[in-house]
Structure 1
Amino acid sequence: MTSGTPLYRNHVLLLSQSFFIKDNRAELLLHAHKYDFDILFFDELSRFVEAVARDDEGNLYVIDLDALHNMQSDMQDSRKTLMLGELLQRLPGDHSYVYLQSARQGGRFLLQQRLVDSNCLAYAEKPIANDVLVDKLFNLFVQQKRGDLVRMMVLGDAPGLDPDALLRQRIELIPHADAQTLHVRVKEVQPDIVLVTDAEYRRTEALVRVLKKNIEADPVREVVLAQCRPDDALSMNALASGFDAVLPAGTPGLLAPQLVNRANKIRVNKDLIGKDRATGLLNKVGLQRKAQELIRQAAREERPLAFGVLDIDKFKTINDTWGHHFGDIVIKRLSLALGAQLAEGDLLSRFGGEEFVLVFWNCTLEQGWGRLDAMRQAFGAIPFEVKPGEVRHFSFSGGMAAYPACRSENELFLRADAMLYEAKQGGRNRICPAPAPQRVAGTQAAADAL
């Protein structure tokens, strides 16, 4: 397949024994590519160190400690087996590493201590199944990303919270003054964390029960008590009534880092729950929440939204002809082509299989048609090398709907999906409904596609 855009956004640099690479290379790559990262294999320490030193893309660096037995030191006596201390000394100190080790090595606490004190991002014991290793590495990629903004609503005067400092940690602080209307404001804003001071809890003990019993309550959201004055009985009552945690806040500077840690964990959980692993885009769960938030914002600000549903044409034939792995590549390329043309505030989701959903912020139906049609043309121009010397082009069809004509996320999807069906029935490779003055069919059909 030929294209100037990198196929995989992330990479793993793996230093390992030659037999580990030989026996696992193909399967490791197959699993990794489905999770949108590639693996670069190294069996020489010097080449691995050079590659890590040159890399500044936030990739992962994995070291199989069993490789030490098959590597020789090149610092003094070339016949000397490479030792752990020399390995750690030679690794670039401004990067962190993932170590693979045997169960016997994993049982040695002093070895684990040495690793975690030497830029260790994580360690894992072998034997480990290839799909499990790849899944764990994907989770590490998620954890390393700054991720989405975490919104925190605060009721009461919580000490030591600097809004600007929190914003630099990707946490937006939203103060609220009235306990009686907190549940209404939470429903409107949908924060990820609700922080209640102990003074406010003493005044309105039913706060958390009102928040948690709402059938629309987000299960990922945390309701946290900031305890400015030690009170064990109050803490026990708060936890029994539904608070997720009680954070000590009496010492200056203590509350903020606790909230940053909780926000980071929430961010990772949201990514794992709400994002498609193969493309990194929103999945069906993530889209539903984000789209509902965007609709509420559009209602407050009186802005239009355009909602598009698209589907790769004849995707089953692509899979049947060139294999599911090639089909995965087509999906990945489409996600990159769509993502390259997103604007601030837009949403993009892999809704399932070969189906994608876009939401264009502050965009009319006609404007949305134009933007989605431009994406259709951009994807149709991508050459796919299905086998050496043979290039094909593929297409997608799309349907559009608009807010406020459709008022809910479900209504928007059903309308756009109906228009997608119309586009498929009308010959594929087109967006429906076309703007009234034009009513044009899709540009050149992907005649050489299938």
Structure 2
Amino acid sequence: MHAHKYDFDIRFFHELSDFVQAVERDAGDSLFLIELDALYNMQSDLLAARKTLLLGELLQRLPSGHRYVYLQSERQGSRFPLQQRLVDSNCLAYAEKPIANDVLVDKLFNLFVQQKRSDVVRVAMLGTPPGWDDAALREQRVELVYHTDPQTLHLRVKDLRPDIVLITDEEYERTPAVVRVLKRNIEADPVREITLLQRRADAGQARRALDSGFDALLAMDDPDLLARQLLNRADKIRVARDLIGKDRATGLLNKIGLQHKAQALICRAALEGKPLCLGVIDIDKFKTINDTWGHYFGDIVIKRLSLTLAPRMGDGDLLSRFGGEEFVVVFWDCALEQGWHRLDAMRQAFGATPFEVKPGDVRHFSFSGGLAAYPSGRSENELFLAADAMLYEAKEGGRNQIRPFPQVVASTA
């Protein structure tokens, strides 16, 4: 199945009861793949009196609370009622056979990465809260920040960099220029959505609001409905972020996504008086890896490095595939020495990862890194340049090591 190339551990089941038990015991980190044709052959432990069960009955045996990837034939894929049945049966995705093993594993890797994506969507609201359930929204990774002064909203937005700004009709009528001020800031996010909340429909007010720069209008008479609409918008924002700011191969932030988030994190560090570290990582002798075993294998090395780094990142940290074989990490609330220890532990973990380049031939690879800290570096660009210079020193000094700036940590290879 080529799964070993991505550090996947794939288990195969021939009895439905065994599969169901494995799903029920899972801690939530697995993908569950079901081949529909094979599902009919996994019935011997169900009903001895009946030779077959209907597909709907079989799907009902699958534990709820989990999502499944269904593998079907081209003929099955042409039947819309079947697709409807799958979607209604906790379908995460479905794929059609025939599909090459390496292609299937690569697509499963992408689904695995997507399941890990749950970025916080920050919402700034000007005006009286509508009475929705704040705790429920936070559980869905929507962070609400309330503000009361329209004349300082632009300063709060500059500091918070929210994804959505909600303004009640009452506050808009008090200060009609509030949106124009927000949008004329040269640092304004062009994709930030600014929405007017109306207590009652008012076509004249709606026209004025749209002409002044509002992007959308929502009714606020039903708080629960408004919360549901906000969650849908948050999901669309996450998708848009992925398209613009995520690397398609690894699911990590790309250069654009990193720069946007790092700038916001530095602003937050300044407001809260917190330190942070920025590290630049580069896989050692990556050209040799590509030239020796091919670019496809090089892509596998990159993906497995992303799988090594991601579980070791905290909730407030950032991880980016900056380009090619180069990665960037940002550790939140982290001093330089602590950051060095964290990055060096990642280096050791990746160095211990086995790569089977051909049957019986296992190799190990390494990366080098440079590290710089805020507030010694005041901007994302300044931090990156300092860390990149230390990466160069690490490469020149023999590779497979982390060099900090300034040199306050005695690094060991």
Map of 2:129 onto structure 1: 158
Q: What amino acid does structure 1 have at the position aligned with 2:387?
A: A
Map of 1:448 onto structure 2: none
Residue 154 (structure 1) shift: 0.5
Q: Deviations over 1:293-314 (max 9, x none)?
A: 1211222233333322121211
Q: Deviations over 1:67-93 (max 9, x none)?
A: 67x748645689956532333343334
Of the three residues 316, 321, 324, the one matched with 1:345 is: 316
What TM-score do the two structures reach when normalised by structure 1? Answer: 0.75
Tell me if the contact between 2:350 and 2:366 (Cα under 8 Å) persists in the aligned partners.
Answer: yes
* 1:269 matched to 2:240: yes
Deviates more, 1:198-207 or 1:120-129: 120-129
Map of 1:238 onto structure 2: 209
1:285-324 superposed matches below 5 A? 285-324=256-295
Q: Deviations over 1:58-112 (max 9, x none)?
A: 54444454667x7486456899565323333433344344445567656655545
Q: Deviations over 1:39-61 (max 9, x none)?
A: 66667756654544444425444
* Residue aligned with 1:85, SS: helix
Distance change in 2, residues 1:359/1:107 (3 Å): closer
Of the three residues 421, 426, 433, the one matched with 2:392 is: 421
Distance change in 2, residues 1:72/1:437 (3 Å): closer
Q: What amino acid does structure 1 have at the position aligned with 2:196?
A: L
Aligned partners of 1:239 and 1:124: how far apart in 2? 42
Tell me if the contact between 2:283 and 2:368 (Cα under 8 Å) persists in the aligned partners.
Answer: yes
Q: What amino acid does structure 1 have at the position aligned with 2:193?
A: E
Map of 1:223 onto structure 2: 194
Aligned partners of 2:189 and 2:215: how far apart in 1? 13
Map of 2:163 onto structure 1: 192
Residue 160 (structure 1) shift: 1.5
Of the three residues 149, 153, 160, the one matched with 1:182 is: 153
Tell me if the contact between 1:143 and 1:268 (Cα under 8 Å) persists in the aligned partners.
Answer: no
Distance change in 2, residues 1:62/1:78 (3 Å): farther
Q: Deviations over 1:332-370 (max 9, x none)?
A: 443444445545633332212221212233444455445
* Residue aligned with 2:224, SS: coil
Residue 152 (structure 1) shift: 0.9
Deviates more, 1:171-180 or 1:424-433: 424-433
Deviates more, 1:55-64 or 1:283-292: 55-64
Q: Deviations over 1:169-227 (max 9, x none)?
A: 22221111122222221111001111111222233333334333444333443222222
Aligned partners of 1:271 and 1:430: how far apart in 2? 31
Gaps of 5+ in 2: none
Deviates more, 1:201-210 or 1:132-141: 132-141
Tell me if the contact between 1:142 and 1:268 (Cα under 8 Å) persists in the aligned partners.
Answer: no
Residue 255 (structure 1) shift: 1.6
Distance change in 2, residues 1:336/1:58 (3 Å): closer
Residue 153 (structure 1) shift: 0.5
Residue 399 (structure 1) shift: 2.1
Map of 1:430 onto structure 2: 401
Distance change in 2, residues 1:105/1:204 (3 Å): farther
Map of 1:12 onto structure 2: none
Q: What amino acid does structure 2 have at the position aligned with 1:427?
A: G
Distance change in 2, residues 1:60/1:341 (3 Å): closer
Distance change in 2, residues 1:90/1:195 (3 Å): same
Gaps of 5+ in 1: 1-24, 444-450
Deviates more, 1:257-266 or 1:182-191: 257-266
Residue 390 (structure 1) shift: 4.7
What TM-score do the two structures reach when normalised by structure 2? Answer: 0.81
* Residue aligned with 2:258, SS: helix
Aligned partners of 1:273 and 1:336: how far apart in 2? 21
| C-alpha RMSD over aligned residues | 3.9
Q: What amino acid does structure 2 have at the position aligned with 1:196?
A: I
Map of 2:343 onto structure 1: 372
* 1:173 matched to 2:144: yes
Q: What amino acid does structure 1 have at the position aligned with 2:343?
A: L
* Residue aligned with 1:91, SS: coil
